[in-house]
A and B are shown apart, each in its own frame.
Chain A
Amino acid sequence: MAEVDYATLKKGGFMRQIQTDQFSMRLKVIGGQLKAEHLQKISEVAKKYGKGYIHLTSRQGVEIPFISLKDIEEVKKELSSAGVSIGVCGPRVRTVTACQGSTICPSGAIETSALAEELDTRYFGRELPHKFKIGITGCKNNCLKAEENDLGIKGGISPEWNKQDCTYCGVCEAVCPVNAVKVDKDKSELSFTESACVYCGKCVKSCPSSAWQGKNGYFLSFGGMFGNEIKEGLHLLPLLFDKEKVFKAVDATVKFYQNNGKGGERLGRTLIRVGSGGLKKEVEEAVQ
């Protein structure tokens, strides 16, 4: 019998199980969204070739366990006929995760689903020194835990106060989670400590007179990981207001990692070894 190339199978999303010649098949999901017809096909395949169930992974992936080695080609064909793609594993760009963002969520500061698709198109599967996770979260609530990814993107709202429209009602002070706003109703005065602001946009969204206006943007983090080693991603850039700049920053990060990362070394570890100054400089230049 021919030698089984497990490495290639793993690269193609087939995770070897403890049972001989059984694989958990990793499917491609972008931004945590699957079409109903894809779900239907996945369900059929799980019943026909697996054990009638699927596993939801911690990063919005779907796996079909108990696929036999002999059925792999058949399963691939069947899924592909319905437009279901296979995921990846190993040292490359993984699933781009995302919350539902401003399309669905009242807290959302940025659109996330289309952004996940775009990032996936640009980077998914790209070979890098080690696994590379990209995660997008729509706001400060951080449901998708941006900072635990090698590259995290978080939506934020940079607020701006227009004195002439303010009625000094006190809503912004009441809703600010970090006490960055103080309103003196008697003197009709407002003070805003910008350095304390966490870009949550609550002042903008709640202001009854629209005195607070906001500019929505992207807050990036670099080198996060949450596995064998735990490290929070670093914020090396201010809020970016232009999606193209986000892509430029990601391009620069990927290039930096390719040039500086060692095989089997996560970006966060690379930044510890060589320092984050080099990456900071490169992403700053990229978004100029």
Chain B
Amino acid sequence: MSDALQIDARVDITTVVCPVTFVKTKVALEELEDGQVLEVRLNDGEPIQNVPRSLKDEGHKVTNVTKTEDGTWLLTVVKGGLSS
């Protein structure tokens, strides 16, 4: 289990669909510095299938993914975490 990280910002992308899901995530990441942590709330299905891969492709490190009771997912990602 990864250590609980301090969350620097949160974004909810459960109200949008692909490709806006990742666009919204990227916009939220742009507000942060490298090494800071964003928590993303996202839907099951396409968003959880695609967003983690897109984050990886852009050099951000997903550190944890948890399914919540309402069926959505909470994902924590470290900005630029794969580039260091």
List residues of A whose CB falls within 8 A of some B CB.
106, 167-171, 173-175, 177, 185-186, 188, 202, 205-208
Q: Is B14 on the interface with A (CB-CB < 8 A)?
A: no
Question: Measured between alpha carbons, how far is A64 from B66 in the docked complex, in Å?
Answer: 55
Question: Measured between alpha carbons, how far is A173 from B52 in the docked complex, in Å?
Answer: 12
Given A169-B65, A174-B65: A185 in contact with B52 (beta carbons within 8 A): no
Q: Kindly list chain B residues whose C-beta atoms are within 8 Å of the C-beta of A177.
A: 49
Interface centre among B1, B2, B64 (most CB of A within 10 A): B1
Q: Verify A167–B65 contact, CB threshold 8 A.
A: no
Q: Verify B49–A170 contact, CB threshold 8 A.
A: no
| Interchain nearest-CB distance for A199 vs B (Å) | 15
Question: Measured between alpha carbons, how far is A186 from B64 in the docked complex, in Å?
Answer: 12
Q: Verify A174–B63 contact, CB threshold 8 A.
A: no
Q: Is B82 on the interface with A (CB-CB < 8 A)?
A: yes
Which of the residues B56, B61, B62, B66 comes within 8 Å of A205, measured between beta carbons?
B56
The size bracket of the interface on B is 10 to 19
Given A169-B64, A206-B53, A206-B56: A174 in contact with B2 (beta carbons within 8 A): no
Which of the residues A169, A174, A205, A208 comes within 8 Å of B48, measured between beta carbons?
A174
Q: Verify A174–B52 contact, CB threshold 8 A.
A: yes
Which of the residues A202, A205, A208 comes within 8 Å of B63, measured between beta carbons?
A208
Q: Kindly list chain B residues whose C-beta atoms are within 8 Å of the C-beta of A106.
A: 53, 57
Using A174-B65, A206-B52 as known contacts, list a sample of 10 further A-B pairs with CB atoms less than 8 Å apart, ordered by residue number in A: A170-B65, A174-B48, A174-B73, A175-B53, A177-B49, A185-B1, A205-B53, A205-B56, A206-B62, A208-B81
Q: Verify A188–B1 contact, CB threshold 8 A.
A: yes
Question: Measured between alpha carbons, how far is A41 from B49 in the docked complex, in Å?
Answer: 42
Q: Is B67 on the interface with A (CB-CB < 8 A)?
A: yes
Question: Measured between alpha carbons, how far is A175 from B1 in the docked complex, in Å?
Answer: 18
Closest Cβ neighbor of A170 among chain B residues: B65
| Interchain nearest-CB distance for B80 vs A (Å) | 12
Q: Kindly list chain A residues whose C-beta atoms are within 8 Å of the C-beta of B49.
A: 175, 177, 202
Closest Cβ neighbor of B66 among chain A residues: A170
A-B contact pairs, 17 of them (CB 8 A): A106-B57, A169-B2, A170-B64, A171-B52, A171-B65, A173-B65, A174-B52, A175-B49, A185-B1, A185-B2, A205-B53, A206-B52, A206-B53, A207-B56, A208-B52, A208-B56, A208-B62
* B 19-45 binary contact with A (CB < 8 Å = 1; else 0): 000000000000000000000000000
Q: Verify A167–B53 contact, CB threshold 8 A.
A: no
Q: Kindly list chain A residues whose C-beta atoms are within 8 Å of the C-beta of B64.
A: 169-170, 185
Given A177-B49, A208-B62: A167 in contact with B56 (beta carbons within 8 A): no
Question: Measured between alpha carbons, how far is A206 from B56 in the docked complex, in Å?
Answer: 6
Q: Verify A208–B1 contact, CB threshold 8 A.
A: no
Q: Kindly list chain A residues whose C-beta atoms are within 8 Å of the C-beta of B63.
A: 167, 169, 208
Q: Verify B1–A186 contact, CB threshold 8 A.
A: yes
| Interchain nearest-CB distance for B55 vs A (Å) | 8
| Interchain nearest-CB distance for A116 vs B (Å) | 26
Question: Measured between alpha carbons, how far is A185 from B2 in the docked complex, in Å?
Answer: 8
| Interchain nearest-CB distance for B47 vs A (Å) | 10
Q: Kindly list chain B residues whose C-beta atoms are within 8 Å of the C-beta of A175.
A: 48-49, 52-53
Q: Kindly list chain B residues whose C-beta atoms are within 8 Å of the C-beta of A171.
A: 52, 62, 65
Question: Measured between alpha carbons, how far is A265 from B64 in the docked complex, in Å?
Answer: 55
Which of the residues B53, B62, B67, B82 comes within 8 Å of A169, measured between beta carbons?
B62
Q: Kindly list chain A residues whose C-beta atoms are within 8 Å of the C-beta of B81.
A: 208
Q: Kindly list chain A residues whose C-beta atoms are within 8 Å of the C-beta of B2.
A: 167-169, 185
